[in-house]
């Protein structure tokens, strides 16, 4: 995926330097540009929401996945007998931070349901998004381990 595809899916995009941009985050009601986008030297697309939205949440809000950030990545079977030439695709700290944030969303929603409240359509969509993010992280970790 080219960075232009991501930038075209976002609102309020501003160039801040060569290969660097700020935009409004699609994962929350962003009134100011809080999403940083950077094109890395190896053509990876790096994103970070300063309001602490998880990367998976940001991507899902524009119909994309982690795979869209890595254009040259090819699927390969893990063979523990062969040396691995590539490092892990994601930092463990990023996966953990995202998993904790998304787990918090699910925990709050479950707490509301257990206290007798009902979740509206927006709440249910957000819980589903959190569950999808957690499952994607689970798959990613199981591919590395």
- Cβ pair 61, 26 in contact under 8 A: yes
pLDDT at 42 over 60: yes
Domain ranges of the chain: 3-144
- Cβ pair 33, 22 in contact under 8 A: yes
The 10 Å CB-count burial string (b at 16+, else e) for 81-102 is: eeeeeeeeebeeeebeebbebb
**Coil vs helix vs strand at 58:** helix
- Cβ pair 12, 23 in contact under 8 A: yes
Per-residue pLDDT tens for 78-129?
455 555 555 555 667 778 888 899 999 999 999 999 999 999 999 999 999 8
CA distance to 79, 103, 116, per residue, from 98 (Å): 28, 8, 28
Q: Do strands 20-24 and 35-39 pair parallel, antiparallel, or not at all (unpaired)? A: antiparallel
pTM: 0.50
């Amino acid at each position: 995926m080219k960075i232009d595809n991501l930038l075209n899916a976002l609102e309020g995009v501003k160039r801040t330097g060569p290969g660097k941009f700020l935009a409004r985050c699609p994962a929350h009601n962003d009134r100011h540009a809080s999403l940083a986008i950077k094109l890395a030297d190896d053509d990876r697309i790096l994103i970070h929401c300063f309001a602490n939205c998880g990367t998976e949440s940001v991507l899902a809000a524009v119909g994309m996945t982690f795979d869209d950030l890595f254009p040259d990545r090819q699927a390969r079977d893990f063979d523990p007998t062969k040396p691995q030439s590539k490092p892990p695709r994601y930092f463990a700290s990023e996966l953990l931070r995202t998993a904790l944030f998304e787990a918090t969303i699910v925990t709050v929603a479950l707490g509301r349901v257990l206290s007798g409240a009902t979740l509206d359509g927006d709440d249910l969509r957000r819980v589903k998004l959190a569950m999808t993010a957690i499952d994607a992280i689970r798959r990613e970790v199981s591919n590395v381990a």
